[in-house]
Amino acid sequence: MRKIELEVPLETFGEFTDKLTETGLDNRVLGRNEDDEIEIEVHYEKSEIRLIDNLEEHLEELIENIEEEDED
C-alpha cells in the first residue's frame, strides 16, 4: 500500500473531501500545518494511481480558484 499526504487549504476542505469520499480511498486527517492547511493522508494501491492523479488535479483547481478570488 502506498500513501500520499495532501495539504488542503481550509477554504476548500469541504469541496475536496466530497471528491475524496467519491474515490473510496482510505484516508485520515493528520491535522493542520503552519500555513493553516489541513493535512490529509491518503492510502492507495498502485492500480489506483489514476484516482490520485484526479484528486491532485481537483485540489490544484480548487487552489487556483481561491487565488483568483483573492486577486479580485
pLDDT in tens, 15-62: 999 999 999 999 999 999 999 999 999 999 999 999 999 999 999 999
Q: How far is 11 from 1, CA to CA, in rounded Å?
A: 30
pLDDT for position 25: 98
Pick the CATH number of 2-71 from 1.10.3470, 2.60.120, 3.40.50, 3.30.70: 3.30.70
Going by pLDDT thresholds of 50, 70 and 90, the confidence category of residue 72 is low
Query: What's the grid cell of residue 13?
Result: 476542505
Compute and round to an integer the Cα radius of gyration of the chain.
12
Q: Among 11, 50, 45, 13, which residue's Cα sits nearest to residue 26?
A: 45
Which residue has cell 487549504?
Answer: 9
